[in-house]
Structure 1
Amino acid sequence: MRHRSETSVSPTESDAPSSERRRLRLGVGAVVVLLLGAFVVAILTSAFAQRGEEQQGVDVPSAPASAGPPPSAGAPGAAELFVHVSGAVLSPGLVTLDAGARVVDAIAAAGGLAPDADPDGVNLARPIADGEQLVVPREGEAPAQVDGAASGPGGGAAGASAAAAVNLNTAGRSELETLPRIGPALAQRILDWRAANGRFSQPSDLLQVTGIGEKVFDGLKDRVTV
């Protein structure tokens, strides 16, 4: 009778490969976890760095400069003048002018002189007063009286009658400016001539003042006296 020989394996020898495989799997798993963790950390670090660069590149708007207080409605230069322009102008009626305006500005606001207007009948350089009625005469008409013009700083004798005769020997600069076509420059020349030559002996002596010719004199000869 034949006997079969059997080799016995101890439990320790059979468990050894299994333990090694488990340790190998655990080692590989740990390495994978570490690699994943490092990858996640790298991604987060890159994202935060990029966000920081974007924030540094954004221009922060500066605070607007504080604007000064709005100009007061009653401040000098803000006033308006209301003037009634009539007579030989293209668009007679009420006009609004800035403070410091003169007769020439009022006439321009009324459309300008009409074809039959007498430009020598008004003093284009005279300052305008608020509430004044400016009448531009036509050719052959006598200069109209200034209506409602109040005297004031720079206004000269605008409130006086435009038809009243001006005494060349006693009139001041502002009164001389009420004469037709006599502005500040010509008024000063009249005063300079009077200071250099004494009194005017007759109105025609004005022809000796530089800048006053026959045409200018004809427009004011009936408005002056000595």
Structure 2
Amino acid sequence: MLVHVAGAVQKPGVVSLPEGSRVFQAIEAAGGVVSNAELHRLNLAELLSDGMKIQVPVAGEVLPPPSPLAGSSGSTSGMAGTAAGTARVNINTASLEELGTLPRVGPVTAQAIIDWRQEHGRFASVDELNAVDGIGPKLMESLKDLVTVQGG
């Protein structure tokens, strides 16, 4: 399986791990943490799933709180839980950084979502993401269960 490890690690990027791997193993595969990482804010024992993104915070970095919405483990690992489906990102209120926690959404696509929202107003449904430049059918399919337009 492939997992994206970002933030306060030596070699951020995508790592390949066997099924059943844990957060701490993904961090090790990314070369370990940098000196100002705050590992205590992650659940290092959390079971990983394919396509997950783990954001290792640096000291003082603000992460969105984990949400106790439907999910397999009630994740408390900050950003890792977001991509795993334990918390949905509200595309009507999310910041550039929050949108960037979604799998396969980098700064350019995150900015395109924000630009579309500023030009057209709130998204009426998740399906409207199809109208955003850079979001094709495959990306849309991977995002539809990770985002919402409710609340906020």
Q: Tell me the TM-score range normalised by the shorter chain.
A: 0.5 to 0.7
1:152: how far off? 5.8
**Alignment partners' CA distance in 2, 1:151 and 1:208:** 35
**Alignment partners' CA distance in 2, 1:180 and 1:151:** 20
Extract unaligned runs of 5+ from structure 1.
1-87, 90-95, 115-127
1:138-180 CA deviation, whole Å, 9 max, x = no partner?
4xxxx6685x843667886582431301111111111111111
Aligned length: 108
- Between the aligned residues of both structures, percent identity stands at 36
> Residue in 2 aligned with 1:103?
13
In the TM superposition, structure 1's runs of 4+ consecutive aligned residues that sit over 4 Å from their partners are 132-136, 143-146, 151-158
Greater length-normalized contact order (CA 8 Å, ≥ 6 residues apart) = 2
SS in 1 for 2:145: helix
Extract unaligned runs of 5+ from structure 2.
3-7, 19-32, 65-76
CA RMSD of aligned residues (A): 3.6
1:198: how far off? 0.5
Tell me if structure 2 keeps the 8 A contact 1:169–1:200: yes
Letter matched to residue 94 of structure 2? A
**Alignment partners' CA distance in 1, 2:94 and 2:132:** 16
- Structure number with greater Rg is 1
Q: TM-score, normalised by structure 2?
A: 0.55
**Alignment partners' CA distance in 1, 2:125 and 2:144:** 10
Tell me if structure 1 keeps the 8 A contact 2:9–2:56: no
> Residue in 1 aligned with 2:136?
213
